[in-house]
């Protein structure tokens, strides 16, 4: 579908404008994958998420250790324990496994939600930077996703990354 849109845009541009007007078009391309990989905002967001979620990771690690201890005890002492003690410990192990699985599922869901929230914020910043660059550099069209080929001549990815750098962003806010 994106490929279709790209070809439609290019076709319309070529058919509507005369060759001299098309030659004057200023087109840029942004490699969003590269921007998301190298943008300092992404690195800061990842560090923030690690710090924010560290206590939950520790909670899960503790729950895993407790489960392992109970499983080892069950495996080691089952022969010398009474049948009732074995059933009680087995039940406890099953409950701990369920609790651990629940904790892990909730944790993974929370990670996904928080990561998506952070990525949405970063995407808004990147989009704003690309728009500002487009306006200030007088681009007629800036493309990103769905492009199969682009030349280095129209690749403005490094310009976008420079504008996303912390020193540049602080300067722009003043």
Please state the rounded mean pLDDT for residues 31-50.
91
Q: Strand, coil or helix: what is 155?
A: strand
User: Mean pLDDT in the chain?
Assistant: 83
Domain ranges of the chain: 25-173
Q: Which residues contact 67 (CB under 8 A, 6 or more apart)?
A: 93, 96, 97, 100
What are the tokens at 108?
């993974």
Dihedral sign computed on CA atoms, order 147, 168, 122, 140: negative
Q: In percent, how much of the chain has pLDDT > 70?
A: 80
Please state the rounded mean pLDDT for residues 71-81.
87
pLDDT digits (tens, 9 = 90+) for 106-136: 999 999 999 999 999 999 999 999 999 888 8
Verdict on whether the full-model pTM lies above 0.75: no
pLDDT, residue 173, reads 47
pLDDT digits (tens, 9 = 90+) for 130-153: 999 888 888 888 888 877 677 677
Which ranges of the chain does DSSP label H, i.e. alpha helix?
2-16, 19-24, 32-38, 40-77, 83-136, 157-164, 166-173
More confidently predicted of 25 and 53: 53
Cβ pair 154, 29 in contact under 8 A: yes
Domain 25-173 belongs to what topology?
Protein Binding, DinI Protein; Chain A (3.30.910)
pLDDT, residue 96, reads 94
């Amino acid at each position: 579908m994106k490929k279709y849109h790209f070809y439609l845009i290019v076709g319309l541009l070529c058919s509507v404008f005369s060759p001299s007007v098309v030659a004057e078009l200023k087109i840029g391309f942004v490699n969003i994958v590269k921007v998301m990989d190298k943008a300092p905002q992404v690195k800061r967001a990842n560090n923030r998420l690690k710090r924010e979620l560290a206590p939950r990771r520790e909670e899960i690690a503790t729950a895993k250790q407790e489960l392992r201890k109970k499983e080892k005890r069950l495996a080691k002492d089952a022969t010398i324990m009474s049948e009732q003690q074995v059933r009680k410990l087995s039940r406890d192990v099953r409950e701990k496994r369920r609790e651990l699985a629940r904790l892990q599922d909730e944790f993974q869901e929370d990670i996904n939600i928080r990561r998506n929230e952070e990525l949405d914020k970063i995407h808004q910043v990147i989009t704003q930077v690309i728009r500002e660059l487009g306006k200030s550099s007088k681009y007629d069209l800036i493309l990103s996703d769905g492009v199969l080929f682009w030349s280095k001549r129209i690749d403005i990815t490094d310009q976008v990354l420079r504008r996303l750098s912390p020193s540049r962003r602080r300067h722009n806010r003043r």
